[in-house]
Structure 1
Amino acid sequence: LDHGGRVLRVLIEISEQTLDEAFQVADGIETVLARAGIRRSILLHGENATVWPFVERAAARNLSTRVGLEDGKHLPDGSVAAGNAALVAAAVTIYRAGRLRR
C-alpha cells in the first residue's frame, strides 16, 4: 500500500559523522523522494558532528530542523551548552541568518 498521501513530513536523520558522507546520504534520500514524487516538508536532523552543518543546510534550503541535548551537547563555537534552550537559541540564530541570505 502507498501511504505517501498520509505523510505530513519526512524526517531525514543521518547517523554518518563525516560531513561529506552525511551530505551525500541526505542528498541521496532527497533524490529518491523527488523521483518517487513525494513532495512533503522535510525535517533534516543531524547528530554530534552533523548537528550544526545540518541546521545551516536546513536554513539555506528552507527545511525544518531540530536540535536538543540528545543530538549533541556542544554549541556551534564548541562550548558545552547549558541546556536545550541554548541549543535552540543557537539554531534559531543560524536559521534566521540563513533565511536572510536567500
Structure 2
Amino acid sequence: IGDALRLASLDHGGRVLRVLIEISEQALDEAFAVANGIQKVLQREGIRRSILLHGENATVWPFVQRAALRKFSTRVGLEDGKELPDGSVAESNAALVAAAVGIYRGA
C-alpha cells in the first residue's frame, strides 16, 4: 500500500503505462487485503491505468481468478508456481498459461 501512496505522490505526468500489483503475502486473506488496499489508493488518487495482478505460489490461481473477474491483466509461469488449479504439477509454462486462459474464458 505504501508503494501505491508513493506512486500517487510522484510527478509522473501520466507516463505510467500499467500498474503491477505483485503481492508476496501467501495467506489469502492478507494478500487480498493488501491488493484491495492498493486498488483503493489508486482509485482515490485518480490513477487510472491498466492493472496487472500477479501472485505467486498460494496466490497464483486466486489472483488469476480475481484478475479475470475484474478485467485486469495477469501473468503466470513456473517462476510463480508449479501447480495447476487442480493441484497437479504443471509440465510446462504453456500448461500454466492454458489454465489461465481457461479461467479468463470462463469469467
Asked if residue 6 in structure 1 is aligned to residue 10 in structure 2, the reply is no
Asked if residue 81 in structure 1 is aligned to residue 90 in structure 2, the reply is yes
Q: Secondary structure at the match of 1:27?
A: helix
The one-letter code sitting in structure 1 at the alignment partner of 2:23 is: I
Counterpart in the other structure of 2:5: none
Counterpart in the other structure of 2:62: 53
The one-letter code sitting in structure 2 at the alignment partner of 1:43 is: L
C-alpha distance in 1, partners of 2:42/2:26? Answer: 22
Asked if residue 92 in structure 1 is aligned to residue 84 in structure 2, the reply is no
Deviations 1:40-79 (A, max 9, x none): 0000000000000000000000000000000000000001
Q: Secondary structure at the match of 1:65?
A: coil
Residue 35 of structure 1: which of 11, 35, 44 is its match? 44
Query: Stretches of 4+ moved more than 6 A in 1?
Result: none
TM-score of the two chains, using structure 1 as the length reference: 0.94
The one-letter code sitting in structure 2 at the alignment partner of 1:83 is: S
C-alpha distance in 2, partners of 1:96/1:11? Answer: 22
How many correspondences in the alignment? 98
Q: Secondary structure at the match of 1:12?
A: strand
Q: Percent identity?
A: 83
Cα RMSD between the aligned structures?
0.8
Shift of residue 4 of structure 1?
Answer: 4.8
The one-letter code sitting in structure 2 at the alignment partner of 1:35 is: R
C-alpha distance in 1, partners of 2:37/2:13? Answer: 18
